Amino acid sequence: MKALSALSNLAITTRHSAIITCQKSLASLYTFKKRLICTSSITEEIQKHQKRINEVGVEMLPDWLHNKVFPQSCQHPDQNKVTIAKEHLKLQGLFGKETEKVPDVPEFKIPNLCGDSIAEHFWNIGESQAKKYRELAESFADSDLLGIPLKEDWLIEPGWTRYESDKNPESVEFPNEQLLCFDVETLLSKSDYGLIACAASPSAWYTWISPDLLKIKKEKKEYDVDNNEISNLIPMGRMIKDRIIVGHNISFDRARIKEEYNYNRSNNKFIDTLALHVAISGLCARQRSTWIKYDKALEKSDTSYLDDKKYFQSIYDVSSTNNLCNVYKLYCEGEVDKSIRKEFFVNGTLEDIIIEKNLRHLITYCASDVLATFQVFKKVLPRFLQVCPHPASFAGMLEMGNMFLTTSKDWDKYLQTAEEVYQKQRDAIETRLEQLADNAVKLSSDLIKDDHWLKQLDWTYPSRVKKLPDLPMWYRDIYCNKKRKVKVTTKSLIAPLLLRLKWNDFPIYYSRKYGWMYRVPKDAEYQTNVKACEFNDEVKDSKAQLNELNELNEKPSKRNKSNTKSKSLNNDVELFANDKDGIYYRIPHKDGEEARCGSPLAKHYITSFEKGVLSSEHEVAKDALQMNAACSYWISSRDRIRSQMVVYDDHPEITDLGFDKTDKAIGMIIPQTVTMGTVTRRAVEKTWMTASNVKKNRIGSELKAIIQAPEGYKFVGADVDSEELWIASLIGDSQFGFHGATAMGWMTLQGNKSAGTDLHSRTASILNISRSDAKVFNYGRIYGAGLKFAVRLLKQFNETIKDSEASERATALYSRTKGKKYINKNYTFWYGGSESYMFNSLEEIATNSDPKTPVLKCGITDALKENVVNKNYMTSRINWVVQSSGVDYLHLLLVSMQYLMKKYNINGRFMLSVHDEVRFLVKEEDSHRAALALQISNFWTRAMFSYMLGINDLPLSIAFFSAVEIDHVLRKEAEMKCKTISYDAEIKEGKSLTIQELIELDIQLDKEVNKDNEDYNTKELDNSSELLTPYNSSNSEIDLTIQSLSTEEEVETLMSRNFTKNTRSYQNYNRPYHFENSKLYKRNLIYEEVT
């Protein structure tokens, strides 16, 4: 008892103190070892290249690499904690298992850190990149704008006009200001280019009017307005000084700025008030729809709804949706009138806009948006710098705001070809469907009445009609008078019936309530977990609907289009309710058992067809499904793809795009990115961040490959291997203070697919499913999804599985992975699973009164703080810990690359990021150096994560990217052929280089690697700053032991023997949050010694 009490007392000390104590106890042994090494040069060389294997068999960095990122560190894990970890791994069947060999990394030159630790290094390089722009932004937020000029004072002249107090308006080439708030207005139905723009600085207002727009105004009597083209870019000047441009959804405005279409980056940095709002007070996906309903209920004084959702008041008070109206109302308690925008810029025409009275009114509206945006900026910037205080966060955000893409005239060809192939495939299927309709209408009534599919059609014949008098209603409904033939598509309600589709060899039926079903004879031996459909309650309603339809049938010329679908079918609910010999079941849907199957020809049913679950006697059914699958990407994405604004180097206002001259035209695209578009601070963009990888049978999926590097340049990039999986497991390992200590950490680092010891293989064996299907369960669980999610997913993958079996399997999975949950009035924690340590650590962070990411100390949105949501939205909060840490990873990677590219004169710039994937556009002769810089940046970033989680070491297996791609097109992997139905060209392969291959090529950043870092004075940095302090889980050995126990009885026994008054570190507190008490409330304290 005394020994256990001593262990518990030891555990409540900080991890840092424990490490120091351990180091002192090992000092003499360490000194003796060093003396032995120095006895001969041969022994020293052997030691230098000897593998370093940690206590649980994970290979760590070799000494020469370790010393580069963890200088003067001799951290050794607590041996009592090592013992606990080994026992835990043995219980999980992992300790001593076969692992994959990690290739050695030959010694190469790596730049020295800019500080005494990796944390100081990133603070220093981040601060050097962020400081000047942050100070500009802060000075802007501390200033005020002049009053908006009267609309009568606007000068209706092409280009920029400056307005200053007590001075006449003057035409200027561009706003020569370092601080600007900016907004552009467009008529997207006519042109992507701006019509008018307004900008404001503390000293003046500026307006810009498109020269093309005023040309139309001047010549409108001579020309048709709709045939004129708007194609002016907005000049902002290439200033020598640094400039901050603020806007709401600023990437939209940036895409209209002339100077942004150039490889040589401008000195413009863009700050998005929408992104700042999302980061500090944004809503998660689950909250957004409720907020909108709650807002409407307040507007309409719907007391019933407000009482029912009383819990939501606290969330509503601290957050809003992202549009400028609601954001302005939240922070400034005012209203923004957007009605004029809808009237003129959404539903209006150029002819309306060019009327001078309207034009003046619209300029004032644009200026009002600028003023509202600026007032929001004054509120959100200081708060953001408090919530995300690390300079790397600010610098990374600015870098994300400068993304761009390059292409060629192949872009136009791609759009044309994809559309042509789609139209051709669609027309071929529709022709065959129309033939089936023509054949069906000729059948006799005797054949129809016993036909499961055709009897569902409406075979009534209307009286007193002149056109098509001898044809049934379903046929008349699909008949096109103009083309004098029927029109049937795969989306037509009758298409599955014409194709005579079956589900599990049973005929399909359609119901308004349940969607597509299948009928099983009652005497059939058939088992399913799908609940049978019930119709008795619908009979009365169906008769009323039938009367309405009959009334409409008497007036065919006035038929409501919304009833067209229902009129094609008999839709007699009594047909189902009175069917004593059959049972009807819903066709399963990917969204769960309550979701309706809208069409069995949808793309996600192609797998069911291939497995024979969905079948048909007609070969055209398979063709229709395959056509739907082939066209699905293009149908869902083509509007977004077509809306991309491509500016070519032959644009009349573009001298060049900053690239070397070539014979091939070059185009540039500015992605419409919100740099922090979700509460996890992930970037959001509708096209490029959702683009799928190329698939041979998907029309248009070659989209990424049409992004091409100009001649003489290369794309250099990589995907971070299992980024968020590693982050989550590392947070769990941090309880022990070394890598691979938990089962989750060990599987992530050492798991072997062939031995079945990796995470996905383990889950597959538990659930008896494929490894690829297991990935869905794993990522869903790690992001916080619960048992119901697993049960629903199992039933989706196997519709014949019984409810009890699905529940049993899912429970077994969660018991063996997440573990069991122990709850009493003092403690709440997970135990006994391979992921229990990880989930306890994630919940420790998520349920803190002021949650912060462990590495860059970024805070959570107000709308998810515990004092606002209590115990709710736990899935979103756990997801935030992992994904927001992933954003920290990206920002560190970008800051590091910017530092190295500038330091070693690597000719390139950041181009695109899609979550864990980054790409840079680089001059071809510098592409290998850029690849090495990217590897070093990843190495530094991984080391930073380990250090800030209290582990001064790093596994060799994850220190570097598995490979860096050097390519001439944008694609997932350099060897992908990118051939599709719509793209048959052969694309030359790129290069995929490992760190070992780069070293073999003798690639070096620079001959003089060890340059003095004269820009950094690390001694001025306050080492006690929270930003440099590693995260501390401070768990005792009792805490660690209890999480690995298997039964509640064991937990209760250990707790009763070793109960202390000390509260567990991951206990779910419910403490009120007082921001004014935060260490970071006065942000300038962090930088005061430096600035």
Give the mean pLDDT of 542-561: 45
Tens digit of pLDDT for each residue in 960-986? Answer: 999 999 999 999 899 999 999 999 888
Asked whether the predicted pLDDT for residue 49 surpasses 90, the reply is no
Give the mean pLDDT of 883-891: 97
- Which backbone phi and psi does 501 adopt, to 5 degrees? -75, 150
Do residues 218 and 71 both lie within one domain?
no
Question: Which residue, among 1000, 1010, 1004, has the nearest Cα to 928 in the 3D structure?
Answer: 1004
Do residues 379 and 462 both lie within one domain?
no
Do residues 233 and 167 both lie within one domain?
yes
Question: Which residue, among 693, 748, 720, 717, has the nearest Cα to 962 in the 3D structure?
Answer: 720
For residues 7-16, one letter each, b for 16 or more C-beta atoms within 10 angstroms of the residue's C-beta and e for the rest, the string is bbebbeeebe
Q: Which of 585, 618, 651 is the endpoint of a domain? A: 618
Q: How confident is the model at residue 617 (pLDDT cuts 50, 70, 90)?
A: confident
Asked whether the predicted pLDDT for residue 841 surpasses 60, the reply is yes
- Poorest-confidence range of 226-240, 413-427, 705-719? 226-240
Quick one: how far is CA 857 from the chain centroid?
A: 21
- Poorest-confidence range of 359-368, 461-470, 899-908? 461-470
Give the mean pLDDT of 365-376: 98
Q: What is the pLDDT of residue 1021?
A: 57
Q: What is the pLDDT of residue 1089?
A: 34
Between 369 and 784, whose confidence is greater? 369
The answer to whether residue 345 sits within a structural domain is: yes
Contact in structure between 707 and 405 (CB atoms under 8 Å): yes
| Eight-class DSSP state of 51 | -
Instruction: Give the whole-angstrom CA distance, residue 51 versus residue 872.
Output: 47
Between 728 and 780, whose confidence is greater? 728
> Which residues have CB under 8 Å from 206's CB, separation 6+?
160, 161, 162, 163, 172, 175, 180, 198, 199, 200
- Give the count of domains, the chain: 3
Asked whether the predicted pLDDT for residue 679 surpasses 60, the reply is yes
Radius of gyration of the chain (CA): 33
Asked whether the predicted pLDDT for residue 1071 surpasses 50, the reply is no
Angle between helices 743-750 and 836-846 (to 10 degrees): 110
Do residues 147 and 233 both lie within one domain?
yes
Burial (CB count <10 Å: 0-12, 13-18, 19+), residue 470: exposed
The answer to whether residue 185 sits within a structural domain is: yes
Give the mean pLDDT of 952-961: 96
Q: What is the pLDDT of residue 566?
A: 45
Instruction: Give the whole-angstrom CA distance, residue 602 versus residue 462.
Output: 33
pLDDT over 70, % of the chain: 86
Q: What is the pLDDT of residue 19?
A: 37
Asked whether the predicted pLDDT for residue 1033 surpasses 90, the reply is no
* Helix H or strand E segment including 576: helix 573-577
Q: Is 438 a catalytic residue?
A: no
Q: What is the dihedral of CA 376, 378, 379, 384, to 10 degrees?
A: 110
- Which backbone phi and psi does 114 adopt, to 5 degrees? -95, 60
Q: How confident is the model at residue 610 (pLDDT cuts 50, 70, 90)?
A: confident
Look up residue 580 and give its two tokens. Answer: 């004593």
Do residues 160 and 106 both lie within one domain?
no
Give the Cβ contact number of residue 1084 at 10 Å: 9
Angle between helices 15-25 and 27-37 (to 10 degrees): 60
Q: What is the pLDDT of residue 24?
A: 39
The answer to whether residue 651 sits within a structural domain is: no
Between 1084 and 386, whose confidence is greater? 386
Q: What is the pLDDT of residue 233?
A: 97
- Which backbone phi and psi does 159 adopt, to 5 degrees? 85, -160
Do residues 167 and 95 both lie within one domain?
no
- Poorest-confidence range of 122-136, 280-294, 666-680, 1021-1035? 1021-1035
Asked whether the predicted pLDDT for residue 27 surpasses 50, the reply is no
Q: What is the pLDDT of residue 833?
A: 94
> Which residues have CB under 8 Å from 51's CB, separation 6+?
59, 62
Instruction: Give the whole-angstrom CA distance, residue 943 versus residue 889.
Output: 11
How many Cα atoms sit within 13 Å of 601 on the Cβ side?
27
Single-letter amino acid code for the residue at 388: C
> Which residues have CB under 8 Å from 344's CB, separation 6+?
187, 352, 353, 358, 362
59: domain range? 2-120+723-1077
Asked whether the predicted pLDDT for residue 791 surpasses 50, the reply is yes
Instruction: Give the whole-angstrom CA distance, residue 730 versus residue 740.
Output: 8
Do residues 831 and 944 both lie within one domain?
yes
Q: What is the pLDDT of residue 572?
A: 64
Single-letter amino acid code for the residue at 940: W
CA angle 674/676/679 to nearest 5° reads: 130
pTM: predicted TM-score of the whole model, two decimal places: 0.88
Q: What is the pLDDT of residue 391?
A: 96
Contact in structure between 246 and 373 (CB atoms under 8 Å): yes
Instruction: Give the whole-angstrom CA distance, residue 648 versus residue 664.
Output: 11
Give the mean pLDDT of 476-499: 91
Instruction: Give the whole-angstrom CA distance, residue 900 versus residue 897.
Output: 5
The answer to whether residue 231 sits within a structural domain is: yes
Q: What is the pLDDT of residue 1007?
A: 55
Q: What rounded mean pLDDT belongs to the chain?
A: 86
Do residues 103 and 151 both lie within one domain?
no
Give the mean pLDDT of 686-711: 93
Contact in structure between 957 and 749 (CB atoms under 8 Å): yes
Between 270 and 696, whose confidence is greater? 270
> Which residues have CB under 8 Å from 428's CB, separation 6+?
623, 627
Token pair 């007032």 in the structure block, residue: 375
- Poorest-confidence range of 57-71, 205-219, 395-409, 545-559? 545-559
Q: Which of 580, 598, 618 is the endpoint of a domain? A: 618
- Which backbone phi and psi does 569 adopt, to 5 degrees? -110, 160
Instruction: Give the whole-angstrom CA distance, residue 893 versus residue 941.
Output: 6
Q: Which of 351, 366, 387 is the endpoint of a domain? A: 387
- Which backbone phi and psi does 966 adopt, to 5 degrees? -120, 110
For residues 769-804, one letter each, b for 16 or more C-beta atoms within 10 angstroms of the residue's C-beta and e for the rest, the string is bebebbebbbeebbbbbeeebbbbbbbbbbbebeee
Q: What is the pLDDT of residue 552?
A: 42
Contact in structure between 210 and 194 (CB atoms under 8 Å): yes
Question: Which residue, among 129, 355, 234, has the nearest Cα to 653 in the 3D structure?
Answer: 234
Instruction: Give the whole-angstrom CA distance, residue 158 versus residue 925.
Output: 43
Instruction: Give the whole-angstrom CA distance, residue 828 versus residue 841.
Output: 12
- Which backbone phi and psi does 148 adopt, to 5 degrees? -65, 130
Residues in the chain: 1091
CATH of residue 187 = 3.30.420.390
| Eight-class DSSP state of 145 | P
> How many angstroms separate the first and last alpha carbons of the chain?
54
Give the mean pLDDT of 148-173: 95
Q: How confident is the model at residue 1022 (pLDDT cuts 50, 70, 90)?
A: low
Give the Cβ contact number of residue 131 at 10 Å: 16
Instruction: Give the whole-angstrom CA distance, residue 367 versus residue 365.
Output: 5
Look up residue 954 and give its two tokens. Answer: 């790093």
For the residues of 769-797, what is the DSSP string, one character each?
Answer: S-HHHHHHHHHHHHTT--HHHHHHHHHHH
Look up residue 1038 and give its two tokens. Answer: 């009792």
Question: Which residue, among 959, 995, 958, 954, has the nearest Cα to 52 in the 3D structure?
Answer: 954
Instruction: Give the whole-angstrom CA distance, residue 410 versus residue 968.
Output: 14
Do residues 20 and 55 both lie within one domain?
yes
Burial (CB count <10 Å: 0-12, 13-18, 19+), residue 684: middle
Between 557 and 1020, whose confidence is greater? 1020
Instruction: Give the whole-angstrom CA distance, residue 698 versus residue 493.
Output: 24
Asked whether the predicted pLDDT for residue 640 surpasses 90, the reply is yes
Q: What is the pLDDT of residue 508?
A: 95
Reduced to 3 states (helix: H, G, I; strand: E, B; else coil), residue 544 is helix
Do residues 74 and 174 both lie within one domain?
no
> Which residues have CB under 8 Å from 189's CB, separation 6+?
none
The answer to whether residue 956 sits within a structural domain is: yes
Single-letter amino acid code for the residue at 708: Q
The answer to whether residue 488 sits within a structural domain is: yes
Do residues 745 and 804 both lie within one domain?
yes
Asked whether the predicted pLDDT for residue 638 surpasses 50, the reply is yes
- Per DSSP bridges, beta strands 502-503 and 506-511 are antiparallel
Contact in structure between 781 and 810 (CB atoms under 8 Å): no
**CA 533, 537, 541, 546 torsion-angle sign:** positive
Token pair 């091409």 in the structure block, residue: 708
Instruction: Give the whole-angstrom CA distance, residue 10 versus residue 383.
Output: 39
> Which residues have CB under 8 Å from 1060's CB, separation 6+?
5, 8, 1038
Contact in structure between 475 and 441 (CB atoms under 8 Å): yes
The answer to whether residue 225 sits within a structural domain is: yes
**Annotated active-site residue in 78, 183, 272, 649:** 183
Q: What is the dihedral of CA 777, 778, 779, 781, to 10 degrees?
A: 80
> Which residues have CB under 8 Å from 1016's CB, separation 6+?
114, 115, 124, 125, 128
Q: Which residues pair with 909 in a beta bridge?
A: 921
Q: How confident is the model at residue 292 (pLDDT cuts 50, 70, 90)?
A: very high
Asked whether the predicted pLDDT for residue 1084 surpasses 80, the reply is no
Q: What is the pLDDT of residue 20?
A: 36
Instruction: Give the whole-angstrom CA distance, residue 786 versus residue 952.
Output: 34
Single-letter amino acid code for the residue at 620: V
Q: How confident is the model at residue 13 (pLDDT cuts 50, 70, 90)?
A: very low
Contact in structure between 920 and 908 (CB atoms under 8 Å): yes
Contact in structure between 244 and 179 (CB atoms under 8 Å): yes
Do residues 112 and 158 both lie within one domain?
no
The answer to whether residue 675 sits within a structural domain is: no
Give the mean pLDDT of 826-847: 92
